[in-house]
Amino acid sequence: MKYSVFTVCMPELTVEEAIEKLAGWGYDGVEWRVTNQQPSADGKPWFWRGNRCTISLDEVVDRAKDIGERSRAAGIEVAAIASYLSCEKLKDIERIFEACVRMGAPQARIGVPNYDGSVNYRRLFRKALTDYARVEKLARKYGVRANVETHMGNITPSASAAYRFVSNFDPASVGVIYDPGNMVIEGFENHRLGLELLGEYLAQVHVKNTAWAKGKTGPHGLRLWQMAWTELKDGQVNWAEVMKALKAVGYKGWMSLEDFNTRRPTAKRVPDALRLLRKLEASARNEA
């Protein structure tokens, strides 16, 4: 397998610093975060606002060639571009795909609609299929792959739901980002079952961990629970079991760290994650 970092989880580093650090830590690649973001409320870099390791959507096409060359010069492949675009935003999606070509990225995350109960799921699903057919056509034009993510709150939170959606498309142009950490919150299924089902659509794996903790008591005395991002080894995702399942289905693609835990600084948690993942991969290989 190959290991990369989604730059959302290194908010205090600049693009140039991230390339240098990832090469020094021994990572194989990088997944660049691309979005037009707002500044953080306190002026400090944060995962989703004021993130210094983010490339703006407005500038990504112009900067893509240089960032790709800088990455490769340091021995770092560009594993993917991670956008926050939903599938109806075709004009911006085409800019992402053009940036992929210039940067040397084989794939990009392109979202599907969120589900909040205000619109019937079947109606959302049908419209998303129509919109993603246009995305597929663009992806084929640029020779890249558009990836749907298993993500809480959208219409593809599980492997089964994602497969139902992407099975309507060519796996050379449309794939799935499998995210076990997200599926703790919504969409959990047996990992091997889900990976076997996804088959040729499995494009990438996001790596993080999550756990549930007791929250306040709700109406009628019902206990409420809340999720929290954890250290990779501490949450409810058993990454040893996930790694075994990935080995069992013959996966050899990108494992991209997306760690939102804040207990330790980037300089500790990011290189430590790589060491743990390589140990888990070696163990799974030996048991196979």
- pLDDT single digits (tens) 115-126: 999 999 999 999
- How confident is the model at residue 18, as a pLDDT? 98
- 3's CB contacts (< 8 A; 6+ apart) are 27, 28, 29, 254, 255, 256, 257, 274, 277, 278
> In whole numbers, what is the pLDDT of the chain averaged over residues?
97
Segments in the chain below pLDDT 70: none
Domain boundaries, the chain: 2-287
Distance from C-alpha of 16 to C-alpha of 169, rounded to nearest angstrom: 36
- How confident is the model at residue 136, as a pLDDT? 98
Q: Which residues of 58-75 are buried (b: 16+ CB within 10 A; e: fewer)?
A: eebbebbeebbeebeebe
- How confident is the model at residue 288, as a pLDDT? 73
Q: Tell the CATH topology of 2-287.
A: TIM Barrel (3.20.20)
